[in-house]
Structure 1
């Protein structure tokens, strides 16, 4: 049926007898009931006989009777009256609609995709993320100060009584920190040195994002001793064993969460706030440590699921990357304090013709976003784009002194890139921080292309 404009009530959905399809009248766009059907369709930029995917945002009951759906179509919210009969749809369902003149026709409901399942798993873990930087700082403190001892049955709790970490947990932490990246691991110009590329590759592979794939390639958990996620899991097992508990007890714990990750759980990269950069110096109990470890494992799992979901969106919208990888790399300052570097890697596929090869070929462009906070230089953001053989880089610094120092080093960076056989297209440093598009779960992660 036709889309109605003005103050006219929404047109109900009428079932067709032959094809089993449904004509849907959409009275307005963006919950604005003052526009005509033609204006609404023009804003949707939907051509005649062109179909698109909509998401059911809400299923409502009207006060005067009947039902109404709130659909999300191309970023716009549209109310659709469905009459007295409740629709066989629920919030979160994906449907396919097609324009027929000044009407929108409901083609049918789409089956649940793999991306939807990943997005649901992601949403379940979002509220329970523990900041990895503060978590590692607390674990380092536990290595030195021990854990708060639990009171013995029938005895009053003793003040300030601590117990050492279990031997297996301590050994795992020692190996983890010993193999962690150090502030002085890569000196200026070390990128051309033999072995530097493999060292960086090792830091990336041991970030925890590849933990499950590493397990498949080894004989067991001991085959990847310095993988962050697997190391945290081994610490959990050791702590539970010291309490006489089985691994199943870990599933009953409520993970600790960091407030900064609750406020913006999907913004990546996003530097850690200064007030949560370090763990408490007060010894934690075994129970508190286990809850913190649960939140840290959730944080790594969120990065894994977030990467999978963004990759599954490839091609859903113009300009979306073919693959996305989000990871956090732990490193140590000269004072042996843990820090995190947040890395976002994206691959874009472009089709083009060349003079020597008239057939269309696929060309990859890689984009890298790196964010880290240095004690003296302050927050730094790097954006690098590479498409063989050209590379461009933009650097953002908050501090004026850091901005001046980086600008002084840019000629050396340009020469180093040229020595690697790269054509430097653009290279500059700016004051402030880059503006990233906001990531929202409803629109960016759950919506699935047809």
Structure 2
């Protein structure tokens, strides 16, 4: 949807005089009856913590401050939305429901912003928000339809605030919208047809990274399972399936085998399923094998296992306080974001919980490993889009665990391809997809004894290759430096024009994030 949306003018101030008695339309119907919550004739302060639209009604989560300072949470339904964070005085009727006055309802609606401070958000600023409500406003005969919505802003200086918007088309409740600031009371929609909102990708990435665990921890635990362990046959087969998909160093050194391993790393699982492929038919997909392992672990756990406690232990930071999350199922609200970890993903080892048996520990580790693979997938999406100069950048990021003697070494890999910008004079002309005319970047990261942590960055453009290597151990850096001449000779013999080849002590510099100017991802990518 494209077009302008407007922030309405402030409603007129209510007339002074005695407070009108609450009308039926201003009642808040308690979803769970609570008699005697507020004494007769008394009013208490209520703060709106969450808002969700369900059909024609709105569900509210209210925090009431009762006499003596005691606070309690209640769920209520209302015919009118109250903005997040607004405060109203409520009383309890004889029927047990809550009531607010018309004057209070008007004051609460003013709590939603109806004007943008262009000093805070200059013209051209991109706003991204989540739609909380959508109502059709009464119009005169022959007048075009007009819809009023409350949206929660997710970025910029207004993050966490509520905006009141009016638009000629309804906004889908729960959807994410993006709009550019055109003035103090005018926004312009950014068209979303055929595009994926990058903000949603970033939010999911933050969630997955907070839950992710090390692949090495899971695979080591599976390898160390006692052979005499009394496991169901299907679970034992699932364990063997995961371990069978782990290559050794010699296999990874074979280009054809490596290509197959990358294809089955889990990054393309969803694409395979859409194509009707079975991910459990050899060669096995890593993510598919892990999902099957979790499916077999669940029924094998003791009956007394608290699955919620086990899986929640994977989360470092909950997205919402529990008192908001539980009553209304989060109501689509968001907590503080976790900064993405970039490349390579940081290692995270999940500690064993007290009183946890081996199967419970395996379930936690498997869930963390799946989240790690999904973090790579989402990182790929986040880094895919159009650069500032119009080039299409596509990213594939993945992780392959491999055996080296008795150790398990996760190899993190990132490929990036940049295609030339379309010809402005001939926008319909398709770009020739010749790999030699594209810019390719490859990054590797692994930690292998006795070399220690290593990172490699390479760039290939029009047949010319340049590469930088980083080692954190002085001995390793010196060893690589002494073999760069041999590496250059082998690359030249492969037909490549070799540019810079350097090795550095330490890790690659990571300056301010130079993200893509246009943060959109093609859904068909």
TM bin (shorter chain):
0.5 to 0.7
Q: 1:46 corresponds to which residue?
A: none
Q: 1:302 to 1:361 in 2, by over 3 A?
A: closer
- Match for residue 171 of structure 1? 237
CA distance in 2 between counterparts of 1:427 and 1:444 reads: 28
Secondary structure of the corresponding residue to residue 340 of structure 1: strand
3-state SS, counterpart of residue 254 of structure 1? helix
Q: Distance in 2 between matches of 1:91 and 1:242?
A: 39
Encode CA deviations 1:14-61: one digit per residue, 9 max, x unaligned. 76xxxxxxx97645358xxxxxxxxx77xxxxxxxxx5633469x9xx
**Post-superposition offset of 1:96:** 1.6
Q: Scaled by the length of structure 2, what TM-score is found? A: 0.56
Alignment check: 8 A CA contact 2:210 2:316 kept: no
Q: Match of 2:314?
A: 257
1-structure distance, mates of 2:456, 2:350: 21
Give distance in 1, aligned partners of 2:127 and 2:119. Answer: 15
Confirm or deny that 1:232 pairs with 2:290: yes
- Alpha-carbon distance in 2 for matches of 1:338, 1:277: 16
Q: 1:28 aligns with which of 110, 119, 144?
A: 119
The alpha carbon displacement at 1:117 in A equals: 4.6
SS for the counterpart of 1:223 is coil
- Deviation string for 1:249-277 (max 9, x for gaps)? 989962542769x976532213536xx39
Q: Which residue of 1 aligns with 2:488?
A: 414
Name the CA distance, whole Å, in 1 between partners of 2:180 and 2:264: 42
Q: Find out whether 1:198 has 2:256 as its counterpart.
A: yes
Identify the residue that residue 442 of structure 2 maps to in structure 1.
Answer: 368
Deviation of 1:286 (Å): 2.2
Secondary structure, in 3 states, of the residue corresponding to 1:181?
Answer: coil
Counterpart of 2:181 in structure 1 is 97
- Correspondence for 1:396: 470
**Paired position in structure 2 for 1:154:** none
Tell me whether 1:108 sits opposite 2:188 in the alignment.
Answer: yes
Name structure 1 gaps, 5 residues minimum. 1-11, 16-22, 31-39, 42-50, 60-66, 147-162, 191-195, 354-358
* 8 Å Cα contact 1:180/1:332 also seen in 2: yes
Deviations 1:274-298 (A, max 9, x none): xx39999x99432332232222222
1:427 aligns to 2:501 (yes or no): yes
Deviation at 1:13, TM superposition (A): 6.9
Task: Call closer, same or farther: CA 1:430–1:126 in 2, change over 3 Å.
Answer: closer
Corresponding residue for residue 345 of structure 2: 270
TM-aligned CA deviation for residue 324 of structure 1: 0.9
**Which of structures 1 and 2 has the bigger CA Rg?**
2
Describe the SS at the equivalent of 1:342: strand
Residues 1:138 and 2:208 are matched in the alignment = no
> Which residue number corresponds to residue 326 of structure 1?
397
TM-score (norm 1): 0.64
Measured after TM superposition, the shift of residue 219 of structure 1 is: 5.2
Partner of 2:381, secondary structure, is helix
| Structure 2 counterparts to residues 41-56 of structure 1, below 5 A | 51=124, 53-55=126-128
Across the two proteins, how many residue pairs are aligned to each other?
356
Aligned to 1:426, the other structure's residue is in SS state strand
Point out the structure with the larger helix share.
1
CA offset at residue 213 of structure 1? 2.6
Cα distance in 2, alignment partners of residues 423 and 92 from structure 1: 47
Q: Within 1, Cα distance between the matches of 2:465 and 2:249? A: 25
Q: Secondary structure at the match of 2:311?
A: coil
**Residue in structure 1 matching 2:420, options 335, 339, 350:** 350
Q: Aligned Cα RMSD in Å?
A: 4.7
Q: CA deviation at 1:318?
A: 4.6
| Cα deviation code 1:376-405 (max 9, x no counterpart) | 111100001011311111000111110110
Partner of 2:411: 341
Structure 1 residue 360: Cα displacement: 10
Q: Which of residues 436, 440, 446 in structure 1 aligns to 2:510?
A: 436
Deviation at 1:174, TM superposition (A): 3.1
Distance in 1, Cα, partners of 2:392 & 2:510:
15
> Aligned pair in 2 of structure 1 residues 167, 241: CA closer, same or farther (>3 Å)?
same
- Cα displacement (A) at 1:71: 9.1
Q: Is the 8 A contact 1:133 1:330 kept in 2?
A: yes
Q: 1:423 to 1:251 in 2, by over 3 A?
A: farther
Q: CA deviation at 1:230?
A: 1.2
Q: Do 1:255 and 1:292's aligned partners in 2 also have CA atoms closer than 8 Å?
A: no
Q: Tell me the secondary structure at the aligned position of residue 305 of structure 1.
A: helix
In the alignment, is residue 293 of structure 1 matched against residue 359 of structure 2? no
Task: Verify the 8 A CA contact 1:133 1:338 in the aligned structure 2.
Answer: yes
* Counterpart secondary structure, 1:133: helix
CA distance in 2, matches of 1:380, 1:406: 11
CA contact (8 A) 1:183 1:332 kept: yes
Report the alpha carbon displacement of residue 209 of structure 1 after superposing the two structures with TM: 1.3
Shift of 1:198: 1.1
